[in-house]
Amino acid sequence: MSPQLIVTLLVFAPILGAIIAGLFGRRIGDTASQAVTTGLLIFAGVLGWLTFFNVVSGAWPSFTVQLAPFIDVGRFQSTWSIRIDSLSAVMLVVVTTVSALVHVYSWGYMREDPSKPRFFAYLSLFTFAMLALVTASDLMQLFFGWEGVGLASYLLIGFWYDRPTANAAAIKAFVVNRVGDAGFILGIVTTFWAFGTIRLAEIFPQVPAIADHVWRFGSWDCRLMDLACVLLFIGAMGKSAQFFLHTWLPDAMEGPTPVSALIHAATMVTAGVYMVCLLSPMFEHAPVAKDVVTVVGAVTCLFAATVGLAQNDIKRVVAYSTCSQLGYMFFAAGVGAYPAAMFHLFTHAFFKALLFLGAGAVIGAMHHEQDMRKMGALWNKIPITYAVMLVGTLAITGVGIPGIDIGFAGFYSKDALINSAFWAGRDGDGVGVFAFIVGVIAAGLTSFYSWRLIFMTFHGHAKWGQPTHDDHATHSAQHETHAEPLAEADNAHGHGDHEPHEEPWSMLVPILLLAVGAAFAGGLFDRGFIGAGREDFWRGALSTITSGRLLDQIEHMPAWVTWAPLLVTAIGFVAAWYYYILHEGIGARIAARKGLVWSFLYNKWYFDELYQIVFVNSAKWLGDLLWKGGDKRLIDGLGPDGVSAASYAIGKATARLQTGYVYHYAFVMLLGVAGLLSYALWAFAR
């Protein structure tokens, strides 16, 4: 089988499953729909790994499969293609592996849902859109996949459409992403204006020649490359939930837990990081845009980590963790360490999918309770889930031993990001210093909220079914925690009054496999992604102008820089142990006091309230003004309604002349005759 045929089957297998389950699911039944979609995703996953090993080993050179013409308008030409190089091969592995495991996991998690064919069709549609995105050879196909994952995420987040909160969350995600996409579209237009093409293979060779071209707007001069890259990055901010456009991400937890794992672990939210790395030849010649990426990524990293400290919904804690980890990836790309950013994207896919699916297993074990304040002492009730959640936590907190380089996946990739920022700052990049400081602080915060989740969920005293004593917390939980609507079905099968129980093996096997990746993916692929073998691994798929220098210097780090992430990680662990194990209840008392700092973090820096006032309320006011004042009073009042009212008045007045009495009509006729004779006599007299 040729490489071209293999990658074509890989990309189109998910959409075939989506069509079969979506159009014929009711005819073929639940089991057949699940089997078809899951089987095709496993098939795609196997082909994804086959492609990955062949491409990075050099057995397959980079190639592009041109399938069909897409758009051909003058110089604006787009062809539906499948571009295969090391960068797209990494994404193929990430997307197909996580999606296949999510499909398998969903067999158990959605076992009582009556709409399984629709759910599995949406999952496969989402996967196809992501595969179209990561294999695009031009910006138009990239945009097609970009919007495709946006549509599929809307359908998946709002899957339980009978819940108002799910509908609101889906709409919020859709609208916020459209804001980012407006910038993305302008970035594509600017790129086409600058290069005369949207094909990546034609854009990249031209970059050095026009890197210093300036766009003049009035008295303001702007480097064209910076303008294009900043606009493109605005699209990434929306898709990857970066600061200012992050508000949709925690609300997306309204979807089923497998959806959270699929969207937040390896697919939609990483599309922005992938796009920046894909366009690294452009960003390398856009210093202002790189600084913007670095600052926004670092601020997002710190912001999301602080908010995660005070959340009580287990899925929202992991969601804010995703937001923070994406910030790490972006600031690494901003300082030019693109291989390190992609390495963290790769390892993050394993441990974040593990944490989300593990959280789903906890929710199932707790009969769909998501509030960590109502858990505790679960470690011996669900030992397998506890073990894999521990592995995920050790991976995300980057536990490892510097010097001898032994650790979990996050140890290799996250330390590479922080070290790259340090060297960028040492080379005179001011934002690199900022990113390094933020990265170290966020590592400590990540450790605290991650171990807080473990301790509140699995240790301490059992709080099953006990009321929360903090009235404010109880009120907040009603708004923050939305139990997924499988509890009734679970109770109907006799589990509602039982102790927490381990979930079925269809859910446990995927998280066990992800635990293997979370433990060993960093050590196995470290040399290829960022080590001595990176040139052979990437084979020109990423710009190495800056990254080569930064990654070479990682081997010569000062000792204090090498040990700083592990030190703050240990401090975070000890602090979480002190507050939630040694002195259990201190955290609850801090929350009960509702102090300024706790309220600020618990309410997510009040971004939702601020946006409600600034954007939502003002938009409603403007809409009411244009509707009631402009449309109804002005346009309708002077237009259709005014003409109608005048016609009605004239008709009503005229109707009064129609009395129905013959003598009235005879009198009018007599007046007419008299008038006619009078005119005739007057005219004759002249």
324-343 per-position pLDDT tens digit:
999 999 999 999 999 999 99
State the residue for tokens 């009212």.
645
**pLDDT score of 545:** 80
**pLDDT score of 647:** 83
**pLDDT score of 476:** 42
Cα angle for residues 595, 461, 354 (degrees, 5° grid): 85
Q: Which residues contact 599 (CB under 8 A, 6 or more apart)?
A: none
Query: Cβ distance 277 to 338 under 8 Å?
Result: yes
pTM, to two decimals: 0.89
**pLDDT score of 480:** 44
Could you please report the per-residue DSSP string of 589-648? HHHHHT-HHHHHHHTGGGHHHHHIIIIIIHHHHHHHIIIIIIIIIIIIHHTHHHHHHHHH
Distance from C-alpha of 464 to C-alpha of 369, rounded to nearest angstrom: 9
Task: Single out the residue of 191, 195, 193, 299 nearest to residue 237, CA to CA.
Answer: 299
**pLDDT score of 266:** 57
Q: Which residues contact 362 (CB under 8 A, 6 or more apart)?
A: 314, 375, 378, 382, 385, 389, 457
Rounded to 5 degrees, what are φ and ψ at 337?
A: -90, 65
**pLDDT score of 466:** 61
Q: Tell me: the pLDDT tens digits for 479-528?
A: 444 455 543 344 333 344 468 889 999 999 999 999 999 999 999 999 99
**pLDDT score of 484:** 55
How far is the first Cα of the chain from the last one, in angstroms, to the nearest whole number? 108
Task: Single out the residue of 68, 78, 62 nearest to residue 12, CA to CA.
Answer: 68
In the numeric block, which tokens belong to residue 114? 């009556």
> Is residue 72 classed as helix, strand or coil in its secondary structure?
strand
**pLDDT score of 473:** 42
Distance from C-alpha of 331 to C-alpha of 276, rounded to nearest angstrom: 11
String of b and e for 454-466 (b: at least 16 CB within 10 Å)? Answer: bbbbbbbeebeee
**pLDDT score of 560:** 93
**pLDDT score of 286:** 94
> Is residue 215 classed as helix, strand or coil in its secondary structure?
strand
**pLDDT score of 468:** 47
Task: Give the chain's residues under pLDDT 70.
Answer: 265-266, 465-498
Amino acid found at 56: V
Distance from C-alpha of 544 to C-alpha of 280, rounded to nearest angstrom: 9
Distance from C-alpha of 263 to C-alpha of 361, rounded to nearest angstrom: 18
State the residue for tokens 């470290």.
526
